[in-house]
Chain A
């Protein structure tokens, strides 16, 4: 039963909409459990309708709630007074959805996902490919190396996501009924802090490495190297300023694009070759 719910949970967002968010996917994922718990068609129908109500959380963390609710439905089905058992269900579901959304957004979207980009760059760098940085780099890295970069991140990230989905489901089922069920699965606060520190360290290393390569590129006189470093640093400063004014990266990219076009395409100035 739990395995079927686990497989279906990969589609929890398939019917996402602005009225009830993940409700359709939640009911779909829970269906194997509900079918087993309620052999009576009328009670099954009522249970499905219960779970078509508004629901939204971080998709990987939804498993904790699916397991919990499956256990609550099981208890209600076996109870002499199902209404009393079901009374607390919407509250538990809502409380957990908010808590797990906050945790999942921070762990997966905010930390692990950007870290897969860093991992991709690390794999490419270890393979001797800096082509993402050197737009005019000669030489052709193998397709296997190019694919290995993003795939390494996909494999690691997916392993974490699938682990969280499966263990979350089992944990939720084990402690079902409690509104804090699964929140103590691991020390989320410590994990978030460690991921932030690791990500920041990697970002610093990438920035220093990139500036190092820029400074060492070609056999230019010192002042040209300084100019190149200054141009690159000015892009970072531009991004910082646009962020401070609440603008997205598109705004900064647009400024770079427009200024470059005006200087080098309209006024036909001789472009500075940044690398080679």
Chain B
């Protein structure tokens, strides 16, 4: 399978798995540890995919989706990171940071999609008043839009990563990014520690 085909397939998978984060099921299939490993496996680098995925997951432990807050998107982050490495040709260390930023950058787009659906409420009411009780088409449209947006999101990122990999001297970045990447497990461990420490010592 060519790299382009694998990238498109990976993006489509990301779009489908991404639905699990909010819209359908919520079985944690969209968590970066799973998406990263799965996409890594599809692209012939399961180990790097798993590593990028679990490190993203450890850092994202800091965010929880309460009260309508839109946390960074783990599936978008894992897809961007793994594809930047597997298809874009960047070192895993730089690809990881690209993924980290991509997950964060996806949150405003997700907010816009949610905001765009706000105008639906009155239209749905009008439809029901007119006697049409089919609500599933609104939900299907919402899921299709979210899935397509997420699938499309990783494609330009991969192309940009491939372009960056071709820039002469990009290798000069790697000693720095490799070192920063080697410290990320520690940042993740501290994230887990502080998340539970706060809860364990909380009264009530």
Contact = CB atoms under 8 A, between A and B. Distances in A.
Given A15-B142, A196-B199, A252 B118 contact: no
A37 interface: no
Nearest to A237: B190
A141 B47 contact: yes
B104 A250 contact: yes
Interface of B is mostly: helix
A196 B196 contact: yes
Contact of B117 (A17, A135, A202, A203): A17
A27 interface: yes
Contacts of A275: 182
A1 interface: no
Nearest to A231: B183
Interface in B1-56: 22-29, 31, 33-34, 37-38, 40-41, 46-47, 49-51, 53-55
B26 A15 contact: no
Contacts of B186: 210, 232, 235-236
Contact of A24 (B34, B65, B116, B138): B138
A257 B24 CA distance: 35
B176 A146 contact: no
B31 A135 contact: no
A249 B197 CA distance: 16
Nearest to A153: B28
Interface in B122-144: 124-125, 128-129, 131, 133, 135-136, 138-139, 142-143
Contacts of B183: 231-232, 235, 256, 260, 274
A236 to B, nearest CB: 4
Interface residues of A, number: 94
B177 A110 contact: no
B104 A15 contact: no
A135 B91 CA distance: 12
A263 B177 CA distance: 11
Interface of B: 22-29, 31, 33-34, 37-38, 40-41, 46-47, 49-51, 53-55, 57-59, 61-68, 93, 97, 100, 104, 114-121, 124-125, 128-129, 131, 133, 135-136, 138-139, 142-143, 172-187, 189-197, 199-200, 202
